[in-house]
Amino acid sequence: MKKENGESLNIVDENIDALKAILPDAFTEDGIDFDVLRQLLGDKIADGEEKYGLTWHGKKKARQIALAPSSGTLRPSPEESTNWSNTQNLFIEGDNLEVLKLLQRSYANAVKMIYIDPPYNTGGDLIYPDKFQDNLDTYLRYTGQKGEDSLAITSNPEASGRFHTNWLNMIYPRICVSRNLLSSDGVIFVSIDDGELQNLRMIMDEVFGEENFIACFVWKSRQNKDNRTTTGASIDHEYVLCYGNHIRGDKRDYSQYANPDGDPRGDWVSANMVGIATADRRPNLHYDLVNPATDINYGCPTMGWRYDRNTMGRLIEEDRILWPTDDSGRPRRKAFLSELDSEFTGFSTIIGKDIYTRHGTANIDELFDARIFTFPKPVELLTSLIEQGSGDGDIVLDFFAGSGSTAHSVLKCNATNNEHRRFIMVQLPEPLDQTNRDQKTASDFCATLGKPRNIAELSKERIRRAATKIKEGNPDFDGDLGFKVFKLDSSNIRAWNPDASDLEQTLLDHAEHLVEGRSEQDVLYELLLKRGVDLTVPIEEKEIAGKTVYSIGYGVLFACLDETIDKAEIEALAKGITDWHNELEPAADTQVVFRDSAFADDIAKTNMTAILEQNGIAHVRSL
Average pLDDT over all residues of the chain = 90
pLDDT of residue 506: 39
What pLDDT digit, counting tens, does each position of 521-572 carry? 999 999 999 999 999 999 999 999 999 999 999 999 999 999 999 999 999 9
pLDDT of residue 41: 75
Domains defined along the chain, listed by start: 1-46 (no CATH), 77-251+346-490 (3.40.50.150), 268-341 (no CATH), 503-622 (no CATH)
Whether pLDDT at 161 is above 70: no
Backbone angles phi, psi at 606, to 5 degrees: -65, -40
How many CB atoms lie under 10 A from the CB of residue 581?
A: 19
Helical axes 59-67 vs 163-179, angle rounded to 10°: 30
Whether pLDDT at 510 is above 90: no
- What's the alpha-carbon Rg for the chain, to the nearest Å? 30
pLDDT of residue 320: 98
Q: What is the mean pLDDT of residues 586-603?
A: 91
pLDDT of residue 25: 77
Distances (CA, A) of 305 to 62, 277, 314, 521: 55, 8, 14, 70
Q: Which helix (H) or strand (E) holds 401?
A: none
Q: What percent of the chain has pLDDT over 90?
A: 74
pLDDT of residue 352: 95
pLDDT of residue 160: 55
pLDDT of residue 6: 62
What pLDDT digit, counting tens, does each position of 102-137 carry? 999 999 999 999 999 999 887 665 555 565 456 677
Cα dihedral across residues 544, 547, 550, 555: positive or negative: negative
| Pairs from 58-62 (Cβ < 8 Å, separation ≥ 24) | 58/165, 58/168, 58/169, 59/168, 59/169, 59/172, 61/132, 61/169, 62/130, 62/168, 62/169, 62/172, 62/173
d(C-alpha 202, C-alpha 118), whole Å: 16
Q: What is the mean pLDDT of residues 373-396?
A: 97
What pLDDT digit, counting tens, does each position of 85-100 carry? 999 999 999 999 999 9
d(C-alpha 475, C-alpha 226), whole Å: 42
What pLDDT digit, counting tens, does each position of 36-88 carry? 777 777 766 666 556 778 999 899 999 999 999 999 999 999 999 999 999 99
Q: What is the mean pLDDT of residues 207-228?
A: 95
Contacts for 619 with CB less than 8 Å, ≥ 6 apart = 589, 590, 591, 592
Quickly state the pLDDT bin for 379 (edges 50, 70, 90): very high
What pLDDT digit, counting tens, does each position of 437-478 carry? 889 999 999 999 999 999 999 999 999 999 999 999 999 999
Quickly state the pLDDT bin for 317 (edges 50, 70, 90): very high
What pLDDT digit, counting tens, does each position of 164-173 carry? 888 999 999 9
What pLDDT digit, counting tens, does each position of 257-289 carry? 999 999 999 999 999 999 999 999 999 999 999
Instruction: Say which residue, 28 or 334, is predicted with more confidence.
Output: 334
Q: What is the mean pLDDT of residues 469-491?
A: 97
What is residue 227's DSSP assignment? Answer: T
Length of the chain: 623
Q: Within 183-294, where are the H helices?
A: 197-208
Q: What's the distance, Cα to Cα, between the start and end of the chain in Å? A: 10
Whether pLDDT at 611 is above 70: yes
